[in-house]
Structure 1
Amino acid sequence: MLTLPVHTLELQGTNYEIGYRLGTLISENREQQLAYTRTLEGFGENEYREAIHLFDEWCPGITEEITGFAEALHVPAKQIAYYALSYLLPRCSQIALLPSMTALNKPLLARNYEFNHQMEDFVLVRTSVTGKYTHMGTSTMSFGRDDGFNEHGLAVTMSACGFPVGAVPFMRAPKLKGLHFWAAIRAVLEHCTNVEEALLYLKDMPIACNVNMMLLDQSGNAALFETMDGNQAAKHIDPTSPEQFLWATNHPVLPELMSYEPQAAIHSLQRAEWIVSQLEGSTGVTHEQLKDMLLLSYPNGLCCHYFEDYFGTTKSMLFSPADGIIELCWGGRAANGWHTYDIRQPISETSTTIQISLERADLAMFGYQSLHR
């Protein structure tokens, strides 16, 4: 068992003010400073300027936030690693249920996020940037968002679509210049009010990673938006659709993209089949049922503790956009507790600890099978 710190954070003000405060929070921690200011081979002055141009177009304000952060640390802004890692890992599960399937007749979005514990912020943050929509979600490298929902009741989660793409050596190199998912998700949360607006915003956004993005709004609209090597596809459902729930694990779900990666990891296929077996034809699904699904152990559940194999559940989340509520459990262990947060209320800033279990995976689960079995 390993003990880890987790935090909640309330951020308000201009992008610059928020960035400066983030910088002051880590200014006393030498190890964190090195993590945020490392450089990557092949990311030079030209790439830095291209990244700024891309952020200013699609994620306005992030450049100012990084400037404030860098000034608090007394380093050049181009040295902040977020530029290199976002300008272009995780293995996750996500489920969107429309109101007809839930016990309270309200839309729900459930998600697990699996990765390595050393590459997780373990921070839930509520962010109110001047002139943008207030949103709440978990952070990546402080500036990005892995997930979240905003004051208008739009929720967004993600899972990798096929083999992860990234700027580090053990990931697949991107096929195009563009943004990583954590920059795209934050941009959507700060600028869109519902699923329709989010799909329009994402349609022309250059996203360099391969990602399944789940969208749900408080009116009961849901969509699965997938990207694969720059190709896009989307499936949109509403209360009148024959299907009333969507799911995604770590492979292409939509037929338009399957030909680009016609195989999937065994663990991804098994989790997908298990989700469908639990929910197909169901009504009256409760919050507790979904939380149990998230914390039941793989293969008869969605939770994994294989952190050293980059497949450990760092967080489980349940979003109720109509209620403005997130329920969050860190570390894939019920013993760490489910905690409830309301987007209408500022977060009380806290630091506490959780425990995670370190287990080793059966490597056979990382083998691949055809999507057309």
Structure 2
Amino acid sequence: MYHPRLYGDFYEMGLKYGSLLHKNGFILPNISKEKKDFGLKSYEELKKFYPEVIEEINGFAKGIHEKPEQLGAFLLSVIPDVRGYCSVFAFKNKNSTIIGRNYDFLFSLKKFTESSLIAPKGKYAYISQSDVFIGRVDGVNEKGIFIAMSFVNGTQIRPGINFYFIVRKVLEECATIDGAIMMIKSAKVSSANNFLIADRFGNMAVVESAVEKSMVRYPKPNENFIHITNQFETKEMKSYDQGKVEWSKSTERYSRLKEVLMTTKHMDIQDAKKILSDSCVCLDLKKQKFGTIWSVVADIKALTIERAETKPKISNYKVEKRLDWWLNKQRK
């Protein structure tokens, strides 16, 4: 897992990281003509949705000696097929909010993963993880906003904004749950996903997002938690979910999370680690060569973040210190 620290204006961040990867032999992967056409159409949508990140793409493209359109087409052509089969939860205590996230993916692609400190000029700083440079799949920002996505096998795809850039824009611009929900719902999404959002005050929600429509669900009145795996749960969204994800034990993971969370009275970070390493939650599918390749736990009020960069065990998490480093640097 790479651990870049990127800060400054968007172009500078892109140029720095692109140049570093180019120096280490990075070459932009080839994609089919069909994917390129899809990506180029989506790239035009990204220009409207988040014009600042286009500057980062321009800088990154210069760093790797590639055309920005080629890079943009690649980034926006990434539509989930075997990506993002994940388990995510948020739990509200009286004085804290604890989150946990397993990211499940092909073992062979673990070498491309990264955890980044990103602090764009004029935006919020954050720690986030991804399997694709520039895009993000989860993270915690300096305002205590947590967001993570999970794949849903939707009924349609279209040129639009993929989850990588939705997660990223929320982290960089949102300080409230309501703001994050509005941003997600305003995006012309390219595919179906769940987005779990939580804040340091204990507010939490899931946006079930598809090409056709989106719905927001909140914890039930008797519950102080919310969770997602890889299906839509609201009746309004069921018809936009094809299913066919049970090879990844999605329903089993969802049920196990609910069972554990329902019986939990108080949670700390150690408890979150235990849940993520539960044999019914943590994936290790040897036949498919697929499973949990990183896990993140956090107290988002205290901005205490820990990460396991392989199959999670209670003992293999490391404390994340880069966000503290950045925030302390800004106070001086």
Instruction: Rate the CA distance shift 1:307–1:54 in 2: closer, same or farther, 3 A.
Output: farther
For structure 2, list consecutive stretches of 5 or more residues without a partner in the other structure: 328-332
> TM-score, normalized by length of structure 1?
0.79
Match of 2:24, as an amino acid? N
Match of 1:243, as an amino acid? E
Task: Establish whether residue 114 from structure 1 lines up as the match of residue 109 from structure 2.
Answer: no
- 1:262 and 1:186 map into 2 onto residues whose CA distance is 27
Match of 2:103, as an amino acid? Y
In the TM superposition, residue 208 of structure 1 has moved relative to its aligned partner by 1.5
User: Could you tell me whether the CA contact under 8 Å between 2:107 and 2:290 is conserved in 1?
Assistant: no
- Equivalent of 1:204 in 186, 189, 193: 186
Aligned to 1:303: 282
Richer in helix (by share): 2
- 1:182 and 1:286 map into 2 onto residues whose CA distance is 29
User: Could you tell me whether the CA contact under 8 Å between 1:206 and 1:230 is conserved in 2?
Assistant: no
Aligned to 1:94: 88
Measured against aligned partners, the alpha-carbon deviations of 1:307-358 in whole angstroms (never above 9, x if no partner) come to 66263101111122101122100111438821111423249xxxxxxxxxxx
Q: RMSD value over aligned CA atoms?
A: 2.5
Aligned to 2:131: 140
Aligned to 1:250: 230
For structure 1, list consecutive stretches of 5 or more residues without a partner in the other structure: 1-5, 166-171, 348-373
1:7 aligned counterpart, secondary structure: coil
- 1:219 and 1:231 map into 2 onto residues whose CA distance is 28
1:144 aligned counterpart, secondary structure: coil
Match of 2:87, as an amino acid? S
- Percent identical pairs in the alignment equals 23
- Equivalent of 1:10 in 5, 8, 11: 5
Task: Establish whether residue 82 from structure 1 lines up as the match of residue 75 from structure 2.
Answer: yes
In the TM superposition, residue 282 of structure 1 has moved relative to its aligned partner by 2.4
- How is 1:1-373 mapped onto 2 (pairs within 5 angstroms)? 6-30=1-25, 32-33=26-27, 36-43=28-35, 48=40, 50-80=41-71, 81-85=74-78, 89-100=83-94, 105-120=95-110, 121-161=112-152, 163=153, 174-237=156-219, 241-261=221-241, 263=243, 265-266=245-246, 267-297=249-279, 301-306=280-285, 309=288, 311-334=290-313, 337-342=316-321, 343-346=323-326
User: Could you tell me whether the CA contact under 8 Å between 1:221 and 1:237 is conserved in 2?
Assistant: no
User: Could you tell me whether the CA contact under 8 Å between 1:155 and 1:319 is conserved in 2?
Assistant: no
User: Could you tell me whether the CA contact under 8 Å between 2:295 and 2:312 is conserved in 1?
Assistant: no
User: Could you tell me whether the CA contact under 8 Å between 1:40 and 1:84 is conserved in 2?
Assistant: no
Instruction: Rate the CA distance shift 1:316–1:47 in 2: closer, same or farther, 3 A.
Output: closer
- 2:167 and 2:286 map into 1 onto residues whose CA distance is 24
- 1:317 and 1:64 map into 2 onto residues whose CA distance is 29
In the TM superposition, residue 201 of structure 1 has moved relative to its aligned partner by 1.1
In the TM superposition, residue 245 of structure 1 has moved relative to its aligned partner by 0.8
Instruction: Rate the CA distance shift 1:255–1:262 in 2: closer, same or farther, 3 A.
Output: farther
- 1:57 and 1:335 map into 2 onto residues whose CA distance is 43
User: Could you tell me whether the CA contact under 8 Å between 1:223 and 1:236 is conserved in 2?
Assistant: yes
User: Could you tell me whether the CA contact under 8 Å between 1:195 and 1:217 is conserved in 2?
Assistant: yes
Measured against aligned partners, the alpha-carbon deviations of 1:279-312 in whole angstroms (never above 9, x if no partner) come to 2142122321220111122xxx311222662631
Greater relative contact order (CA < 8 Å, ≥ 6 in sequence): 1
- 1:111 and 1:257 map into 2 onto residues whose CA distance is 23
2:86 aligned counterpart, secondary structure: strand
- 1:69 and 1:136 map into 2 onto residues whose CA distance is 20
- 2:6 and 2:137 map into 1 onto residues whose CA distance is 17
In the TM superposition, residue 72 of structure 1 has moved relative to its aligned partner by 1.6
- 2:39 and 2:102 map into 1 onto residues whose CA distance is 33
User: Could you tell me whether the CA contact under 8 Å between 2:293 and 2:309 is conserved in 1?
Assistant: yes
2:7 aligned counterpart, secondary structure: strand
In the TM superposition, residue 86 of structure 1 has moved relative to its aligned partner by 6.5
User: What is the aligned residue count?
Assistant: 320
- 2:32 and 2:125 map into 1 onto residues whose CA distance is 32
Match of 1:195, as an amino acid? I
